[in-house]
Amino acid sequence: VLIKESSNVRTIILNRTKQLNALSLEMISRLLEVFHAYEEDPNVKLIIMKGEGRAFCAGGDVAAVVNDINKGSWKLGANFFSKEFTLNYLMATYTKPQVSLLKGIVMGGGAGVSIHGRFRVVTDNTVFAMPETALGLFPDVGASYYLSRLPGFFGEYVGLTGARLDGAEMLACGLATHFVPLEKLSLLEDALCKANSGDPKIINSIINEFSNTNPKLKEKSQYFRLKTIDRCFSRRTVEQIISALVSYKKEKEADKNMDDWISWTIQSLKKASPTSLKISLRSIREGRLQGVGQCLIREYRMVCSVMQGEYSKDFFEGCRALLLDKDKNPKWNPSKLEFVSKDMVDRYFAALDDKDWEDLKLPARSNLPVYAISKL
């Protein structure tokens, strides 16, 4: 984590380029320290977040988490997530504006340290995804809060399939606040440093000067499928979602303009961990009715159950297949959706049966701007 100071502006740069700026425990601890300090410091008015190299941040370093757990105890994993989720909460309720410049890859934990901030600036090469269900995890870092607030059932679609969105799609669905062409990104950064202001109205108007307010969605953008997505992903269960997609595909089979999107969507769901799909769907649905803090506390329960590995070891198997051995052939257990009962899903949402474990304690927040209060 590098820090550049320019009068009242602090630019935080994620600088672990070989790992696409994946967040290690050290990086998360450092960010927590810095965000706490800057909130107290009257000389800091604005925070800019960016990534060095070709990614903003590819996520939390879950391979390292799995390594730690395999060497010691699942509680080492719990410690990583408790710090990460606390940082997400701090950013979501921050009293000073944060501008995230989302160049390149923004996935998983990378979304957690940016989407919760006030301004999210995307560009030509931004690629966003929450790919957790393919890893035996679920969209965490407060994703059940922000995915559940996307138009219609787009959040369910993005969270369950791991679909990748580009900058224009992120702006269209509300994950991003601005789209700035790549060649203007460094000019924007300079302008924000020069203006030296913490007033959100001023910051917004500066970003607007460099923005393309209406970047064109690609002809085959998933965002144009919102009607179909709503029709299928509004179903009550994952099984019903897949069956709605399959019947839609059959209906459209005669259509010459039918493309691969629907097959891709069905395949993505069939490849993902059945347990992950079920807990992810329930998590996003519950998130619609909860504030950001409640979402993070619930997600922490869920992630601790995943780390503990008592009901399913899919997370360890997913990491093995995708990140460690890279054979891309995870053997999920339970192997089918019908083997994951409601009772099994319920356990991920309950407090853990472990005398040393406790729910996530989020820091008390005061004097919050209206913008932050609305998220509680």
Q: Is 60 a catalytic residue?
A: yes
Token representation of residue 253: 């089979």
Per the residue annotation, which of 132, 156, 166, 314 is the catalytic one?
132
Q: Is 140 a catalytic residue?
A: yes
User: Other C-beta atoms within 10 Å of 366: how many?
Assistant: 6
| Cα separation, 12 vs 50, whole angstroms | 6
| Cα separation, 128 vs 219, whole angstroms | 18
Q: Is 112 a catalytic residue?
A: no
Per the residue annotation, which of 60, 167, 287, 293 is the catalytic one?
60
Contact indicator for 87, 94 with CB cutoff of 8 Å: no
Token representation of residue 261: 């999107």
Closest CA relative to residue 171, chosen from 221, 98, 234, 227: 221
Residue tagged 């010459």 (tokens) = 256
Per the residue annotation, which of 61, 68, 84, 140 is the catalytic one?
140
Q: Is 109 a catalytic residue?
A: yes
Closest CA relative to residue 40, chosen from 114, 2, 94, 119: 94
- Beta strands 105-107; 55-57: pairing state: parallel
Between vectors from CA 265 to CA 263 and to CA 267, what angle results, nearest 5°? Answer: 70
Per the residue annotation, which of 104, 109, 112, 162 is the catalytic one?
109
Q: Which residues contact 166 (CB under 8 A, 6 or more apart)?
A: 126, 127, 128, 218
| Cα separation, 31 vs 358, whole angstroms | 23
Catalytically active residues, by annotation: 60, 109, 132, 140
